[in-house]
Chains A and B, each alone.
Chain A
Amino acid sequence: MTKYQRVSGDAVEYEVFARKTRVEPLHQVGSVVAPDADLAMAYARATYDEERWCEMAIVRKDDVIHLWSPGEV
């Protein structure tokens, strides 16, 4: 896991998800690095607000649980 140093201490990476309409699923649109969730929300909105969106969500990258890919030993 990449460690990010910020003036306010260690920062973590958050994945950013968004969707344009209610009928489509959330898509991963990018990520931001911030020391806490409040700042990550502000950064996500500032960075990914260029396109129209009706829902945006962030998830700590550390909290994402990956499954084994097919055939992975």
Chain B
Amino acid sequence: MSLSDLVLSIADNKQMLGLRYAEWATRAPSLEADIAAAAMGLDDLGHSRVLYGCLEPLGADPRGPERESDPASLHNLAYFDDPWTQWSEFVAANAILDTAFTVMIEACVGGSAEVLQHRLRKMLMEERYHFLHGRSWLRSGIDSAPLNRAWQEAIEWFGPPDGDTAALHRQGKLSMGPGELRARLEEQLETKATHADIDWKQWDGVRRRGSQGAIDAHTFGMLRGLEEKKYAPPTAKPTPL
């Protein structure tokens, strides 16, 4: 896996995280939390745009035409495959997965790729507020199931001890390898990762996840603009540019 593949994975995951956050903009436990969900959703969707824009300068855009038709070609974690039904799923994603992505972005900013050093720095400033939000809600206590799942998927996403992330670290393209990323995440959250039993043989190194599956059809259709067509009047014709 190249650095471009890793950046695409961050971008796809941030895009899905942003969409899932936005789905809670009218369902969070308080008006303030509604607004925070909307704001963080916008932030992460914006971050994904910046990250997609880094692919070409990095020299190899790994996105292929299959992304237009196959939801399983997107490199998002299984955690984002379906809309969250519980607030605790939101909190676990906010505290653990969002912070895991931030830690990886720190590793990119500290690495040797100049385009990432320059373009990703502002994200780290915005992510400080996501972190405060997630950590505070996490401290208030949540169900263990989404928490364990988020930890498992974060550690899987960092990659195996001797895999591609470690190689990118050795090459200087990332300032942290899998072990350092995990330690940094634990340090940030002031807690140890819950026990994760990972079978790296089953791990998909391209999508950086241990299970199969893909985002739901509605979300994929919306991403591709297919849902938009449902709301167009039957007589509507595309407006010439």
Contacts and interface: CB of A to CB of B under 8 A. Distances in A.
Given A8-B141, A34-B32, A45-B39, A39 B129 contact: no
Contact of B132 (A32, A35, A42): A42
A49 B35 CA distance: 11
B99 to A, nearest CB: 13
Q: Sort chain B's interface into a size bin.
A: 10 to 19
Q: Is the interface of A mostly helix, strand, loop or mixed?
A: mixed
Q: Is the interface of B mostly helix, strand, loop or mixed?
A: helix
A47 B135 contact: no
Given A7-B29, A9-B140, A39 B39 contact: no
B36 interface: yes
B136 A46 contact: no
Given A6-B29, A33-B30, A42 B140 contact: no
Nearest to A48: B35
16 contacts: A7-B140, A8-B136, A8-B139, A9-B140, A33-B32, A36-B136, A39-B133, A41-B129, A42-B36, A42-B130, A42-B133, A43-B32, A45-B129, A46-B38, A46-B133, A47-B35
B129 A46 contact: yes
A38 B39 contact: no
Nearest to B130: A42
Given A7-B29, A41-B129, A41-B132, A46 B36 contact: yes
A35 to B, nearest CB: 7
Interface of A: 6-9, 32-36, 38-39, 41-43, 45-47, 49
B136 A39 contact: yes
Contacts of A47: 32, 35-36, 39
A42 B136 contact: yes
Interface centre among A8, A34, A42, A45 (most CB of B within 10 A): A42
Contacts of A7: 29, 140
Contact of B30 (A6, A36, A45, A49): A6
B135 A38 contact: yes
B200 to A, nearest CB: 35
Contacts of B35: 43, 46-47
A31 B38 CA distance: 18
Given A41-B129, A46-B39, A49-B39, A35 B32 contact: no
A35 B140 contact: yes
Contacts of A8: 136-137, 139-141
B132 A39 contact: yes
A34 B129 CA distance: 14
